[in-house]
Amino acid sequence: MQIFETIAELRGFLREARCQGQSIGLVPTMGALHEGHLSLMRTAAAENDIVVASIFVNPTQFGPQEDLAAYPRNLEADARLAAQAGVTAVFHPSVEEMYKPGNATWVEVVGSLTESLCGRTRPGHFRGVTTVVSRLFNIIQPDRAYFGQKDAQQVQVLKRMTQDLCFDIQLRVLPIVRESDGLAMSSRNAYLSAAERQAALVLSRSLAEARRMVETGERDTAMLEATVAAFIRQEPLAVIDYVELVHPDDLKRRERLETISLLAIAVRIGKTRLIDNTLLEVPNVLNSI
């Protein structure tokens, strides 16, 4: 596995691979790799001749009060894990390589996709994501790019961007990977103290609670949201950012559950903001008769 720090060198490497007819998969990450990232990389390795994993803590997707400086960075460990997962090339640019002097260009998805959920408490976050991912797409020109369903809103925003800007790239979305006790894998889990780690289980458990309610017939959005919120509030270390049940495509709220909905939550455990989500499917009554 090779590590590239510059766009020019990575492009040289990929040009050669492309000329030989090799397919290219891209796994964009901010490093601090965990099993969620590695599942993306393994799938990318199975589906492509070449896998590029980018490791870049992108400053433009962090708010001024957020954890840019503290975000965990460990290139050596990440490179070892990526190699084991089948990655061909790690792209690890400096901030100056990705944002050259005089940089003034933003790529932005507007409307409900970026204004809802995390968009409300993290203004500018998705603009930073689409801006950096569009650059990665242009640098690497992959056939396929891999993202985790953990970042459900990010996935919808990037699907929109990819379609709107006519990128000839297939987006592959893989399931959330969880610890054995249910906590969704996240690089930010590393911030949690032992007590907070225990408290953080309230996220996945509250989602399970919602799934049980839907199975027993609950269809009212407000009731489901209120019950999940009440469940989370039982945990003293948890502070709710949002609990929202939305349509998985447009991320807009509906009064009642339709065929399928996305229950998305963001919760602060101490100073750490965690997100989780689940799809809630209304059982098809006709099929079950």
Distance between CA atoms of residues 91 and 101, nearest Å: 20
Q: Which amino acid is at 120?
A: R
For 237, residues 6+ apart whose C-beta sits below 8 A from its C-beta are: 195, 196, 199, 269, 270
Nearest to 262 by CA among 286, 246, 273: 246
Would you count residue 108 as binding a copy of itself (CB under 8 A)? Answer: yes
Q: Which stretch binds a copy of itself (CB under 8 A): 52-60, 97-105, 170-178, 230-238?
A: 97-105
Out of 43, 116, 134, 221, the only residue in the binding site for a copy of itself (CB under 8 A) is: 134
Return phi, psi of residue 242, to 5°.
Answer: -155, 155
Shortest CB 154 distance to a copy of itself, Å? 14
Distance between CA atoms of residues 251 and 244, nearest Å: 9
Cβ atoms < 10 Å from Cβ of 101: 5
Q: Which stretch binds a copy of itself (CB under 8 A): 37-45, 134-142, 177-185, 208-216?
A: 134-142
Residue 247 known to bind ligand: no
Shortest CB 136 distance to a copy of itself, Å? 8
Binding mask 143-162 for a copy of itself (x = CB under 8 A): -----------------xx-
Shortest CB 134 distance to a copy of itself, Å? 6
Distance between CA atoms of residues 99 and 109, nearest Å: 20
Contact residues toward a copy of itself (CB under 8 A) are 7, 11, 99-100, 102-111, 113, 130, 134-135, 138-139, 141, 160-161, 163-168, 250
